[in-house]
């Protein structure tokens, strides 16, 4: 076993935290069967204790250890998408600590598709509870450096697997009810799920489950600089206003340098959804560090392919500009 994996496994067994890369974002992991270890996640993140965590598994054969019912639809989706960015909400086994489920009768499970995460999980041989490795309400980390910025001395080991290929959090699908319900959009879309199940998932009514799904809180994934979503015309208008007022602004848009000025920092956003998602959090972090009055983000197109990205942008705008943890 490689020394860093050996060290990570030893820390997990000792009830300590380990941050690790997944294909979506970096996770802050602890032994999912150890309530005291899981409590350290909440302390490090500053996250309310009733928000449930996702348990990461080495492979789908572990499902029945965590879920007391594994419906055929869960097996089908696991076969189609695991390892991959899909979290399934299932009825929990009795042994799953309340600290993991937020006291609910369900548990979130996924097998992440990242070589380092899979190596860690296989070596550990059990479930690792892990939320995104950021302070509560803030931008999810997509590099090891982001994790150190967010959690610094609060986590004894950060495994470095480079930049996360997907860049936004997993799709969450609730299979604990009569019909599948999409709780959080992600890289795996409703159409992908429908293709496997032969029926389309329902979409959760906005915020029906808040705060049980903390990703469903309005203020989330947020920079400290106020973030405003604008149309392409709105962007030029807002930029002119900022320049007239002498305000320093940052812009995330698919076409850069429509206006060139000392007060304006441009960052180009990829024109297709996968690239946009891949760059999104790193770009927001970078623009957030510039000391601007405002971050202007040109709103991507509407439609299914952009759903997950637009969801994260809306929440980033809602939660931006706050200094306190919320």
Which span (47-55, 145-153, 291-299, 313-321) binds ligand TXA, by CB under 6 A?
47-55
CB 311 → Mg ion: shortest distance, Å? Answer: 13
What DSSP element (H or E) covers 37? Answer: helix 35-45
Could you say which of 132, 171, 216, 310 contacts Mg ion (CB under 5 A)?
132
Closest CA to 252 of 266, 272, 232, 238: 266
Footprint of ligand TXA on 135-194 (CB under 6 A)? 169-170, 172, 183
Q: Are 173 and 86 in contact (CB under 8 A)?
A: yes
90 binds, among ligand TXA, Mg ion, none (CB under 5 to 8 A by kind): none
Closest CA to 171 of 71, 63, 24, 281: 24
Q: Are 87 and 172 in contact (CB under 8 A)?
A: yes
CB 263 → ligand TXA: shortest distance, Å? Answer: 35
CB 305 → ligand TXA: shortest distance, Å? Answer: 19
299 binds, among ligand TXA, Mg ion, none (CB under 5 to 8 A by kind): none
Neighbours of 62 (CB within 10 A): 18
Tokens of 192: 């992908």
107 binds, among Mg ion, ligand TXA, none (CB under 5 to 8 A by kind): ligand TXA
**E-only strand ranges, the chain:** 18-20, 27-31, 54-56, 86-91, 106-110, 128-129, 171-174, 181-184, 202-203, 227-230, 249-253, 264-268, 294-298
**Nearest CB to ligand TXA, comparing residues 107 and 297:** 107
CB 316 → ligand TXA: shortest distance, Å? Answer: 14
Per CB under 6 A, residues contacting ligand TXA are 22, 24-25, 27, 51-54, 85, 87, 89, 101, 104, 106-108, 112, 130-132, 169-170, 172, 183, 212-215
């Amino acid at each position: 076993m490689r020394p860093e994996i050996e060290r990570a496994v030893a820390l997990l067994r000792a009830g300590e935290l380990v941050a690790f890369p997944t294909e979506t974002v970096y996770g802050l992991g602890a032994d999912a069967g150890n309530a005291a270890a899981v409590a350290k996640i909440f302390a490090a993140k500053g996250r309310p204790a009733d928000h449930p965590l996702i348990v990461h598994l080495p492979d789908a054969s572990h499902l029945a250890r965590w879920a007391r019912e594994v419906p055929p639809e869960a097996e089908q989706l696991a076969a189609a998408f695991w390892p991959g960015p899909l979290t399934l909400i299932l009825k929990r086994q009795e042994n799953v600590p309340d600290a993991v489920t937020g006291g609910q009768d369900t548990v979130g499970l996924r097998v992440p598709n990242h070589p380092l995460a899979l190596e860690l999980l296989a070596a550990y041989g059990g479930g690792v509870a892990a939320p995104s490795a950021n302070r509560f309400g803030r931008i999810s980390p997509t590099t090891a450096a982001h994790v150190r910025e967010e959690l610094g001395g609060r986590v004894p080991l950060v495994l470095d697997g480079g930049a996360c290929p997907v860049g936004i959090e997993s799709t969450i699908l609730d299979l604990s009810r009569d019909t599948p319900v999409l709780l959080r959009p992600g890289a795996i879309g409703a159409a992908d799920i429908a293709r496997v199940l032969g029926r389309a998932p329902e979409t959760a009514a906005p915020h029906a489950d808040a705060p049980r799904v903390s990703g469903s809180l309005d203020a989330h994934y947020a920079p400290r600089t106020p973030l405003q979503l604008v149309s392409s015309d709105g962007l030029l208008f807002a930029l002119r206003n900022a320049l007239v007022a002498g305000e320093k602004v940052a812009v995330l848009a698919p076409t850069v340098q429509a206006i060139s000025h000392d007060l304006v920092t441009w960052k180009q956003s990829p024109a297709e959804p996968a690239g946009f998602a891949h760059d999104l959090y790193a770009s927001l972090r970078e623009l957030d560090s510039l000391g601007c009055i405002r971050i202007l983000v040109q709103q991507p197109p509407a439609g299914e392919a952009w759903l997950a990205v637009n969801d994260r942008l809306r929440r980033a705008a809602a939660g931006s500009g706050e200094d306190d943890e919320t």
